[in-house]
Copies of this chain bind each other. A is one copy, B any other.
Amino acid sequence: AILNFTSNHSELLCLQLNTVSLCADPTAASYTDSSDDETSPREKTQVNSKGSSDFCVKNIKQAEFGRREIEIAEQDMSALISLRKRAQGEKPLAGAKVVGCTHITAQTAVLIETLVALGAQCRWTACNIYSTQNEVAAALAEIGVAVFAWKGESEDDFWWCIDRCVNTEGWQANMILDDGGDLTHWVYKKYPSVFKKVQGIVEESVTGVHRLYQLSKAGKLCVPAMNVNDSVTKQKFDNLYCCRESILDGLKRTTDVMFGGKQVVVCGYGEVGKGCCSALKALGAIVCVTEIDPICALQACMDGFKVVKLNEVVRHMDMVITCTGNKNVVTREQLDRMKNGCIVCNMGHSNTEIDVASLRTPELTWERVRSQVDHIIWPDGKRVILLAEGRLLNLSCSTVPSFVLSITATTQALALIELYNAPEGRYRQDVYLLPKKMDEYVASLHLPNFDAHLTELSDEQAKYMGLNKNGPFKPNYYRYQHHSTQSE
């Protein structure tokens, strides 16, 4: 069954990457070259400075480098730091035993260390075989977190690490924090009895949430689960704002392109497309848009973007950016018609948007000119510049601001606290969204970063509005405000 499940594991990982869309570029931030040491971490014996060896990382000696990265990340994640301070007295996670499976980066380290500060014991593994920052894993291991992860795991390593997190003597998890659903899946398959003690699952990714809903529908979900993916804060900030920042960064780091005056077509005008269009236009690009949905198309018009069909404009474009979530949005025929020097990249959900496979034909020459940058050369000498082989640009070629990750991480921490402390009966064996009020609390924890001062309702005003002075201030359906699933 496992084999069956993992048969298309690489595709699965890819999917996770695409949906999570939030791991920092591991290469960019790596200060220590591990390539010299080819020994598998599984074969090494390492001990941290306190004498523990309950971890498996690339090189525990890199801990100090990792600590520095974590400290840098903390500067933009003050919401978690303030959560530590506010909740530290009461230790709301005292007694919690959290097993976690996420990208292991400086930002998740800040989350994990917050959970520890709030009283939790943590065992952690990576949700992706490539994304682990080795020095960060070392730093976590050094302070006593049982981490099992390194960059460049094999698939066998991947499941071995998960297993080591879950299956350890004298320790049994009572909370699960998952990103992609692999950990949850493993526990279901191998250690179903663990669920007797588990008080809840917190899941961040589209894929993982999808699986939980399927389990729930099938009546097989045996503990409450919190869907963090669809919280308004995550949706809003991961998409619109994050893409507004990362589209420019990703294009610059790979191509050093100048934006002023460039003709760009953005395929899809959902939140991701809106973020891309806004940033590109702001820096002087001339942007047009393709859409299938007339309402989004009308928004694009009102926002000042010409709505076109890709075929009408593809000859003249300097850049083609996909943000649709659909497949074959850019076809080989259209790639054939692009002009010399056209840059093609993908900011959408999956690596199917550009039909990259169609470019792997004998008459075209691929030339890798930089990391993540391929020139595809036509027989007549025309070059199309393909970024990240059509995978997500912002995942592959830029970094994600710690501040944006802080919003998701804070939501995860609050979801854990909520599930762990909820009175009997509040949550049943179902998938829940974080209560609106906690969404607002996540937002409020991030306002001090901006020195923003909220206005408080007077009693009279609260009454007039029919609101509680402390919120929630919006009805529940507001949660979906900026959620546009299909055309991105």
Which A positions have Cβ atoms within 8 angstroms of B?
A: 24, 31, 68, 72, 75-76, 232-233, 236-237, 241, 244-245, 248-249, 252-253, 256-261, 263, 267, 279, 281-286, 290-310, 312, 316, 325-329, 340-341, 367, 369-370, 383, 398-404, 439-441, 443-444, 446-447, 449-458, 460-461, 464-465, 467, 471, 473-475, 477-478, 480-487
Contact = CB atoms under 8 A, between A and B. Distances in A.
Contacts of A461: 326-329
Contacts of A261: 301-304, 449-450
B304 A72 contact: no
11 contacts: A31-B370, A72-B369, A75-B383, A232-B295, A261-B301, A261-B450, A285-B304, A293-B473, A307-B452, A328-B461, A474-B484
Contacts of A301: 260-261, 447, 449-450, 452
A12 B116 CA distance: 53
A447 B292 CA distance: 12
Copies in the complex: 4
Contact of A453 (B24, B281, B307, B402): B307
A465 B480 contact: no
Nearest to A260: B302
Contacts of A367: 68
Given A282-B283, A455-B310, A483-B481, A440 B326 contact: no
A245 B263 contact: no
A460 B352 CA distance: 13
Given A477-B480, A483-B478, A293 B401 contact: no
B245 A453 contact: no
Nearest to A279: B283
Nearest to A325: B465
Contacts of A281: 304
Contacts of A259: 245
Nearest to A256: B399
Contacts of A304: 260-261, 281, 284-286
B309 A455 contact: yes
Given A232-B295, A297-B443, A260 B241 contact: yes
Nearest to A439: B295
Contacts of A403: 258
A303 B279 CA distance: 12
Given A252-B399, A309-B455, A474-B486, 6 more contacts: A75-B383, A293-B471, A307-B454, A474-B485, A477-B483, A478-B483
Contact of A328 (B306, B460, B480): B460
Contact of A248 (B248, B294, B444, B484): B248
A325 to B, nearest CB: 7
